[in-house]
């Protein structure tokens, strides 16, 4: 059952199997959106006189029935159907006769797929936004709860200066703000309507593309019909860049957690049921969840490059290469969502060791505090630095680690600015709306 079949045309079975590939599985993800696109298109056809009003109305009613079947899970793509578009049109024609054969007027599978993907990705971006917000909220909560619990900070993996659990977790909350910037940009690119561009060169039918844009709640449309087709691949790459940015944040946080729960650090702890054991070492509590988050998110960060290699140097116009963007990007979005969920599960149960900095190995952590105190007494910075440095070299440096630290500038241990970070997130995330 192919929309393009002719009486004397047939396709070898091997060719058909190869060209269809995994499309059926990913088409099911787009079934709802394919019907939504068809409803908008048919509504416009009826309003513009390209279908009789009663014909368009009947087609819309029947399409809505099919939509309900999809939403209830009572739907599948039949074995002889080439794709989701063929399945929907065949079901419609079976139920309302020749009227079902009229709904493809003024569109191609090219713009049909393009609008399906945009609608699907728009929905997924909103879901990713909600997932990021929930992790962000948890990070802010844990940051505030633990803002007075000090830990060492590191540069070059060497003990550097005092930090805190609040500062550490707040850093990842703010990183998600920048990730949301990428997601918002991807939303803006995705939220443009390609429907009506046909095979990439428009149509001689009197279409009203602004009307389908309104019906599908796109912010605007891809005006140029050639670019509407060229936006395929580019849209997917924009979304992949956004999820890769979030994946980078998760991967780095997962790595920190692997280090900080290591016995040589021992800053954080998780319940036994959230860790795994060793087959021969009874003392082991392995951070398998964080290691897999790290691995999965590192793989997600490769997706933009994979899409670049797939779509790079293709000339304008549609090419079957674009079919593969779905199997690259769609599973990656689901993988990111799973990683966010697992990170939330782990951080919800995090516990922090008390009095970490009183360990003698962190004595030099306070060298900058000592230098700054001398500067505040009027000693030039370079002289103060040399004085403390000489004390360290001679083994004479002493500093009371129980003394309260006074860091007051914006974004420091004593002034996390979490409220300001929250406001940034709210402002950026508000651009991504449920449609």
DSSP 8-class letter at 280: S
Where, residue-wise, is CATH 1.20.200.10 in the chain? 110-147+164-202+224-358+413-429
pLDDT of residue 4: 45
CATH 1.20.200.10 applies to domain 110-147+164-202+224-358+413-429: yes
Tell me the pLDDT tens digit for each residue of 290-311. Answer: 999 999 999 999 999 999 999 9
The alpha-carbon radius of gyration of the chain (Å, integer) is 29
pLDDT of residue 177: 98
Distance CA 335, CA 293 (A): 9
Q: Give the ranges where 74-224 is alpha helix by DSSP (H).
A: 84-96, 109-145, 165-190, 209-215
Burial profile 183-194: b = 16 or more Cβ within 10 angstroms, e = fewer: bbbbbebbbbbb
CB 124 within 8 A of CB 30: no
Which pTM was predicted? 0.92
Fold of 13-105: Fumarase C; Chain B, domain 1 (1.10.275)
Question: Residue 163 CA to chain centroid, in angstroms?
Answer: 29
Distance CA 54, CA 45 (A): 11
pLDDT of residue 285: 85
Helix (H) or strand (E) holding 238: helix 225-260
Residue 249: which of 383, 335, 343 has the closest Cα? Answer: 343
Residues 6+ apart with CB under 8 A from 34: 27, 84, 85, 88, 112, 116
- Our CA dihedral for 329, 330, 333, 339, rounded to 10 degrees, sits at -110
CB 233 within 8 A of CB 325: yes
Task: Mark the ranges of the chain whose per-residue pLDDT is less than 50.
Answer: 4
pLDDT of residue 90: 94
3-state secondary structure of 18: helix
CB 140 within 8 A of CB 422: yes
State the Cα angle at 207 between 201 and 210, rounded to 5°: 100
Where, residue-wise, is CATH 1.10.275.10 in the chain? 13-105
Distance CA 333, CA 117 (A): 13
């Amino acid at each position: 059952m192919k929309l393009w079949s002719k009486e004397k045309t047939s396709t070898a079975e091997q060719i058909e199997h190869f060209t269809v590939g995994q499309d059926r599985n990913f088409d099911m993800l787009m079934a709802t959106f394919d019907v939504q696109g068809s409803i908008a298109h048919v509504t416009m056809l009826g309003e513009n006189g390209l279908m009789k009003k009663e014909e368009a109305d009947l087609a819309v009613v029947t399409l809505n029935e099919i939509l309900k079947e999809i939403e209830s899970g009572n739907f599948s793509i039949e074995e002889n159907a080439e794709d989701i578009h063929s399945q929907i049109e065949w079901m419609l024609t079976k139920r309302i006769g020749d009227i079902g054969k009229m709904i493809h007027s003024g569109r191609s599978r090219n713009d049909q797929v393009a609008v399906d993907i945009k609608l699907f990705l728009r929905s997924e971006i909103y879901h990713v936004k909600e997932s990021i917000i929930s992790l962000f909220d948890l990070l802010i909560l844990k940051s505030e709860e633990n803002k007075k619990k000090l830990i060492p900070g590191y540069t070059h993996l060497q003990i550097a200066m005092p930090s805190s659990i609040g500062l550490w977790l707040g850093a990842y909350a703010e990183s998600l703000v920048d990730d949301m910037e990428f997601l918002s940009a991807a939303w803006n690119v995705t939220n443009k309507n390609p429907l009506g561009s046909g095979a990439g060169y428009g149509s001689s039918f009197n279409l009203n593309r602004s009307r389908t844009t309104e019906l599908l709640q796109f912010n605007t449309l891809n005006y140029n019909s050639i670019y509407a087709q060229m936006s395929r691949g580019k849209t997917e790459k924009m979304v992949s860049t956004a999820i890769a940015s979030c994946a980078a944040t998760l991967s780095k946080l997962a790595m920190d957690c692997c280090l900080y729960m290591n016995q040589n650090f021992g800053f954080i702890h998780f319940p036994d049921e959230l860790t795994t054991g060793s087959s021969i070492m009874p003392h082991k509590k392995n951070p398998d969840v964080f290691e897999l988050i790290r691995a999965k998110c590192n793989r997600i960060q490769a997706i933009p490059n994979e899409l670049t290699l797939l779509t790079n140097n293709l000339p304008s116009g549609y090419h079957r290469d674009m079919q593969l963007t779905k199997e690259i990007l769609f599973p990656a979005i689901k993988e990111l969502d799973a990683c966010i969920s697992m990170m939330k599960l782990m951080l919800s149960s995090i516990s922090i060791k008390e009095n970490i900095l009183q360990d003698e190995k962190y004595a030099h952590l306070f060298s900058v505090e000592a230098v700054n105190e001398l500067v505040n007494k009027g000693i030039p910075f370079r002289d103060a630095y040399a004085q403390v440095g000489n004390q360290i070299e001679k083994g004479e440096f002493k500093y009371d680690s129980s003394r309260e630290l006074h860091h007051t500038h914006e974004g420091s241990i004593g002034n996390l600015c979490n409220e300001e970070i929250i406001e940034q997130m709210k402002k950026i995330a508000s651009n991504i709306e449920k449609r």
